[in-house]
Structure formats: C-alpha cells, structure tokens
Amino acid sequence: MEKIIDEITALDQKLFLFLNRLHTPFFDAIMPWITGRTSWIPLYVFIIVFIGYKFPHKQAIISVLFIIAAVGAADYVTSGLMKPHFQRFRPCHESGLAGMVRLIVNCGGEFGFASSHAANSFALFGSLCFILKKYPFIVCLMLLWAILVSYSRIYVGVHYFGDVLAGGLIGFLISVTFYKILSITLIKFKQE
C-alpha cells in the first residue's frame, strides 16, 4: 500500500511540475488576482442580487443560505479537518521540490491537501447547478470559473493537482448532499 501511495505522490509531483511551469507573462499577471480571496466579491454580490431578482423572497433567502452552508462546510472539511489530518506539505513547502516550484504568490500554510479554493469554488458551482438549473449558460460559466480558480492554485505554485482534484470533488459532493437534505426538509415542511 505504501508503494502505491509513493507512486501516486511521485506522479502528482510530476504533473504539478509540468502544469506549474506552463507560464506566460499574461497569466503571471492575472493568476494572482484570480486566486485571490477577495477578487471575486463582485461575482458573489452579482449571484446574490441575481437570485434575489429571479426568485420569490423566501426562496431567494433559502437559496443564499444553502450556498453559504455548502461553501462553509466545504471550507471547514478541507481546512479544518483534512489539512491537519493528512498534513501533506504544499509543493512550495516540500523540501524535495526546492528550487523547482515556480511560486508567484505567498506560499500560505504548511499543508495543502485538500485545496480549500477548489472545494469552495466547486461547492458554489454545485449549489448553483441546483438553484439556477433554468439558466444553463450561467451554470456553464460557473463551471469554467471553478476550474479556472482551481487551476490557478497549481499555476501559482501552492497546490498539487491531487489537492485541487480532491478539493473540487469534496466541494461538489457537499453541495449535492446539502441539496438532498434541503429538498427532503422542504418536502416534509410542505407536508406538515
């Protein structure tokens, strides 16, 4: 089992180094902004306003609370539970990769598995899949956005591909789980 884990780790490092070295001056300039925590506040405000405009008041409030809960849970699972448990170093903190990582932002915390940025982005995307299913163009744009934000973490040098993949899957699965719970709760509430 240990040999398999070592092989997966080596493959993940090779894939990271390949993707991390695909740099251009244009993307070097915009990727730190794309990966920034506050860069997307206007998008989040737009989503809230759009939901408030398109849905009845009570449904809009429930939808926004659902999004907040899904993203918050995704962040907690990755940052609060997984990173301290697995203690997998970020590539920029990995001594075996010293001098090979192209780092264009602050490295951040010591551990990187799983990526909270990817989890949060895909939790938001997953939530919007259910809430905005009548607006597939917006949902498709949000998928591209989630992929871009997730990839930015590799590009700037702070996460392996495996960190991002795991984070994205966790975020999406949390949004699906929360939606199922919300649907069951609302059905029971309507029956009473």
- CATH number of the domain that residue 71 is part of: 1.20.144.10
Expressed as residue numbers, the domain containing 146 is 2-191
Angle CA(125)–CA(127)–CA(130) in degrees, nearest 5? 110
Residues 6+ apart with CB under 8 A from 140: none
Q: How many domains does the chain have?
A: 1
Q: Is the pLDDT of residue 183 over 90?
A: no
Q: Is the pLDDT of residue 185 over 90?
A: no
Burial pattern 46-81, b for ≥16 Cβ within 10 A else e, equals: ebeebbeeebeeeebebbbebbebbbebbbebbbee
* Banded pLDDT at 192 (limits 50, 70, 90): low
Distance CA 125, CA 33 (A): 19
Mean pLDDT in residue range 172-186: 90
pLDDT tens digits for 94-107?
999 989 999 999 99
